[in-house]
Chains A and B, each alone.
Chain A
Amino acid sequence: MKVTIDGIEIDVPKGTTILQAARMIGQEVAPPTMCYYSSLKTSGGYCRTCIVKVTQGSAANPTPMPKPVASCRTEVMDGMVVENVTNKDVLEARKGVVEFLLVNHPLDCPVCDQAGECSLQDLGYGHGAATTRYEFPRREFERIDIGKYVQLHMNRCIMCFRCVKVAEQLTDNRVHGVMHRGDAAEISTYIENVIENDFSGNVIDVCPVGALTDKTFRFKSRVWFTKPVDASCDCKKCSGKVRLWMKGEEVLRVTARKDQWGEAEEFICNTCRFDRKKTSDWKIEGPTKVDRHSVISQNHYNHLNELKVQVLKQQKALGFMDINKRP
């Protein structure tokens, strides 16, 4: 099936969603996602961040769709024409969605451990809404410890349902879910039950905000002061392929490796995540490649060589002499 997204045509198999087709094209046209997670079945459709405009339904019926559609839940039709970043209305509508997501968000980024790798932070910053129009009290919850390792800050939750899908699909005995409805909805365990399952720690990785955080990493360091390193170990329960967040020789945090969409490549077990906090536990493969513009790459000089090559190239083009070369 041929589908055109932001003027770029691509051939995709039947049953592909608009979002998946856009991701096949690349990061520039792919809509942002807060609730869709490609490795979790039935995820998506809650947050409305990925809305796009369909200006032509299909080749057979070229009428445009009347409203923006959630691209993660809409399958492509042959000859469909989609507009994402090229349509001002879409960006304006998405800005509205961001405002809705932030209605009850406490904006405690200076305290939150997720700051620096938070999808909501990126989204809010990207859409440039620094002020809020919301004048009413935000809903407040007490912090809840879910088990030994995970802490739930319900204040920050945006109800993406990703953690519930993880519990459903990854762990064998689901003990947490969403209680109540609408404004009163909250992630909770059944009578403060403890989540104890080998893969329960993955709820931390899938959480797009700082609602579910690692208690072993709580307030240890801001993420941009730690250095991400890819490492692996022989683990019986999971693949053992992880990312270590190090400060000097110390392993402060272990997470799954995330791809360009911020999604975990392979889910890891709790032993790897919470108990292996020594460098000797791991076989280190090398530093993680981080986008130079990310705050994570602040104060790290992984890209110095790459930068140097670029600078030298520019200087050469301007006719500068190479001062490093001896005559």
Chain B
Amino acid sequence: MQLTNRKVVVSNKEQSLAERMYLPAIAKGMMITASHLFKKSPTINYPDVKRPIAPVYRGQHVLKRDDNGAERCTSCGMCAVACPAEAITMTSGERKKGEEHLYREEKYAATYEIDMLRCIFCGLCEEACPKEAIFLTDRLVDAQFERKDFIYGKDKLVEKMDARIDVSKRQTPEVLAFKKVEGLKHNELFDAKKLNKGHKH
């Protein structure tokens, strides 16, 4: 099967005078070079100019906080077990009284580390997350000089309340519709107000 017409049969036949002079070949090459002077350059002046990226681009992770500023992650380990590169490690802590504004649930991630050199940015962690805590964003992971600097801890991963990261575009209409299913209400967090409405023993 012939795929292109650029196939050339190599032979050892004697070169003609024009070929031995090389001048026509050089002229042909110069013409190609010169023609590029008049073409649009494909180079962009990064970081002044950035290429557009898809809204579902999978870059550096973020650990989201909820609207009250409490960390959503409850250290359930689903991301770590889903991770094919085994890049995620965590330890859990127990929320003490008075820390309700810091952590959403009674268990939280005391440490949470992602090794960005191991991570393959597949997005399985955000798919596995039952608490909508981890998302991949359109940010790029910075270059570093040392390997240890690629291990991102909570200081780099948890979003700052004064610089929140919008992940709403990452959720497809199907996902948003699925979340509104009445029968999945139990996955929502019991907050204090709701708790008082239930009959207490």
A contacts, CB < 8 Å to B: 106-111, 115, 130-135, 137-141, 154, 184, 186, 218-222, 224-225, 295, 298-299
Contacts and interface: CB of A to CB of B under 8 A. Distances in A.
16 contacts: A110-B107, A110-B131, A111-B107, A115-B76, A131-B181, A131-B184, A132-B184, A137-B199, A186-B201, A219-B107, A222-B77, A222-B81, A295-B81, A298-B81, A299-B81, A299-B86
Interface stretch (B17-25, B28-36, B57-65, B189-197): B189-197
A108 B200 CA distance: 18
Interface in B70-99: 74-78, 80-81, 86, 92-94
A128 B78 CA distance: 19
B107 A139 contact: no
B76 A111 contact: yes
B52 interface: no
A151 to B, nearest CB: 11
B198 interface: yes
B105 interface: yes
Interface residues of B, number: 31
Interface in B151-201: 181-187, 190, 194-195, 197-201
B130 interface: yes
Nearest to B181: A131
Q: Which 6 A-B pairs have the closest CB atoms?
A: A131-B183, A137-B198, A110-B76, A222-B77, A219-B92, A111-B107
B185 A132 contact: yes
A182 B86 CA distance: 46
B127 interface: no
Contacts of B200: 140-141
Contacts of B93: 219
Contacts of B100: none
A184 B201 contact: yes
B95 to A, nearest CB: 10
Contact of B198 (A109, A140, A186): A140
A141 B185 CA distance: 20
A111 B92 CA distance: 10
Interface string B92-115: 111000000000011100000000
Contacts of B77: 222, 224-225
B72 to A, nearest CB: 11
A219 B106 CA distance: 10
Contacts of A154: 201
Contact of A109 (B76, B80, B86, B94): B76
